[in-house]
Each structure stands twice: as structure tokens, then as C-alpha cells.
Amino acid sequence: MEDRIFLSSPHMSDEGYEMQFIKEAFDTNWIAPLGENVNQFEKELAAKVGSKTAAALSSGTAAIHLALKAAGVGEGDIVFCPTLTFSATANPIIYQNATPVFIDSNYETWNICPKALEQAFLKYPEVKAVIVVHLYGLSADMDKIMEICKKHNVPVIEDAAESLGTYYKGKHTGTFGDYGIFSFNGNKIITTSGGGMLVSNNEKKIAKARFWATQSRDQARHYQHSELGFNYRMSNVVAGIGRGQLKVLDQRVAKKKSIYEFYKRELAELEGIEFMPINEWNEPNYWLSSLTSNGKVRPLDIMEVLEKENIESRPLWKPMHKQPFFENYDFIGTEVSEKLFENGVCLPSDTKMTDGDLERVIKIIKGLWLD
């Protein structure tokens, strides 16, 4: 069996930046809970994406949860959420005892459809917040979405977990809405092993999020808590990894782009193949090179033949409104997200892949069309 090729695995810098910051945490004995790495990682990430301030948290999910709380979402409130996403986008809505309404995608972006969003506002004018996802590093059509949400005076939370390093019309995703969230899970374009970041231009709201994330401990000599708190803060060691990873973000985006371009060059002419949409206003981070196969070769055929050769691939996200836990919540749209799920596959996009690895993947896939 040849060496395994991963979908997207952690990739530490060749320069050893991460170990420098981890060593600093050990040398100063600031292992946890907070410390200079946390403070600096917040500042450096905010500066990188062009946001005023940020809070380093234990996960992207925690960041969405606190963003919803900061937006005033509570029991019985309605929150619009894309259906084509990972469950971590939708779960925090339930944490707040709110009600998700799932919105369909369009083929132009694979992200939330502005027309379906307009329909949702007509049906649920009382909606409390809108979550927008930038799927697989592809930005949603933010001008149209923000215009709609501003017209209805509803706060926007950008789930940019998969899109750190992606630009929409020259501006980083995660910085258009009232709140943006990033994830540093092990499979993301940069990783802290686990962790997330909440960004906003509202410094008071971020300060409040930090307060909630540290068990809502009041300023008092004794332990006093006037609000419900959470254990959501990032550790100083983990933040050190993040600081090192941030230094190589641009390198990782360049590598992801080269992987995508290789696949498209080699596979785009195969019958039934269409690649994820790259729009003129979109500069993706190409987190996962994804395509749809709508001909004689089905996505499952591709995934199974790769799996036999010790190569990891995945289907696109199964829509939330088709998930057993969420199937009783309302859905606005047609069948775009379902068709993308049925026909989609994410190809291995690991930044440690060699040219030989890419050739190996291509040869195996092309073989399906020769049978």
C-alpha cells in the first residue's frame, strides 16, 4: 500500500515559527490559560484580515455561539442559516434555544442564494440574525447579501471557518458582517490543532465576548458571576501555534491554488465534470478543490476508487434540512443544495502533496473514464 494522501491535514511551517512561540510560552511558564501569545494572536489575526479587534476562542463553533449571543439571539428567535454547510454552523442556533430556517444555495457561488434569502425575509420578517457561510473558501455574493440584510436591519454573522485568506472584491471574508468567525481546526488552511477566532469592528461586543468566554467572571476579589459564562478561551500554547501558522498563510493559499489549477487542467475536459465556481470578484483560498460529476462516473465511484488506493476524499456537505436532527425545521429554496450534495466530491487538497501525489490522484480518477 502506498503512502496515504490526506484530504487536508495539519502542515507546520518549515521555518519552525510555531515552536518559537511555543518555547516562549514554556520559557515564561505562561502555558495557560492566557498570555502574550493569545494577546498577540488576536492582534495579528485582526490586522491580517482588516478587523478592529478579535477574541481567540476554543473553536469556531464557540465563536459562532458568542456571535449569536452578542447579536441578541435568544429563545424563540429565528436565525437564517445556509443549508449547505457543516453542522457546526447551525448547532449554536440551538444552543441559544433559537430556531434555524435553512436557506438554499445557488450554482453561481455554492453559497447562500440572495433570491432565496429575499424569500425568507418575506416569510419571516421578524428574523433576528443571518449567518452567511463561505463554503470551501468560496466567498458568498456579499454585496447582494449585505444589501438585503441592511434593508431589513438584521445583523450578519459570517462563518469564514473555511475561508481565511479569501477575498471578496479585495476585502477579506469575515469582515463584511457585524461578526466574523474563523476556525483553526486540524483540517483548515492554518491550524492551532483546535481553536477559533471571533472578529468584529465593535470593540465593546468583542470585550463582552471575551468576558462570556472566561466564565463571565465579574471584576471582584472573590469569584462572582452575574451572567452565564462559558469556558471558551484559547490557551497560550495553542495561540503560539496560531501565530506561527499565520506567518505562512499566504504560502498555504498559493499551494492550495496550485492544487486546484492542476486538477482543473487535468480533469475539466472529462465528461460530466464541473469545478467549483470561481467568480471574477472572488479570490478564494481554495481550501478544498471540489467538483461535481454528473455523468456516467458518479462521485461515489471517485471516492471509492481513491479509498482503495489509500487516498482520502469526501462528499460535499449534506444539507442541514436533510439531516435527521434538523429535518423538521423550515427550508427556503429549491433543490440546488441537494443536487450539489448528490453530485459533489472534495478531492485531496493537502498542502504537503507532491507533484507525484497529484499525478497519482489524476491517473486513478482518469481511469474511471477509460473503463
**pLDDT per residue as tens digits for the range 233-283:** 999 999 999 999 999 999 999 999 999 999 999 999 999 999 999 999 999
Residue 217 bridge partners (DSSP): 225
Q: Quick one: pLDDT at residue 30?
A: 85
Residue numbers in the chain where pLDDT is lower than 50 = none
- Rounded CA separation 156/165 (Å): 20
Q: Which domains does the chain have, with CATH numbers?
A: 17-246 (3.40.640.10), 249-370 (3.90.1150.10)
Which is it for strands 156-159 and 167-168: parallel, antiparallel or unpaired? unpaired
Q: Are 291 and 276 in contact (CB under 8 A)?
A: yes
- CB atoms under 10 Å from CB of 9, counted, come to 16
- Rounded CA separation 350/327 (Å): 33
The per-residue pLDDT for range 285-302, each reduced to its tens digit, is 999 999 999 999 999 999
Q: Quick one: pLDDT at residue 357?
A: 98
Q: Quick one: pLDDT at residue 350?
A: 98
Read off the pTM.
0.97
Residue type, 329: Y
Cell of 32: 495557560
By three-state DSSP, how is residue 271 classified?
A: coil
Q: Quick one: pLDDT at residue 34?
A: 85
Determine the longest span between alpha carbons in the chain, in angstroms: 74
By three-state DSSP, how is residue 236 classified?
A: helix
Show the beta-strand stretches assigned E in the chain: 53-57, 78-82, 99-103, 129-133, 156-159, 167-168, 171-172, 179-183, 196-200, 273-275, 282-283, 290-293, 314-315, 331-332, 344-346
Q: Quick one: pLDDT at residue 31?
A: 81
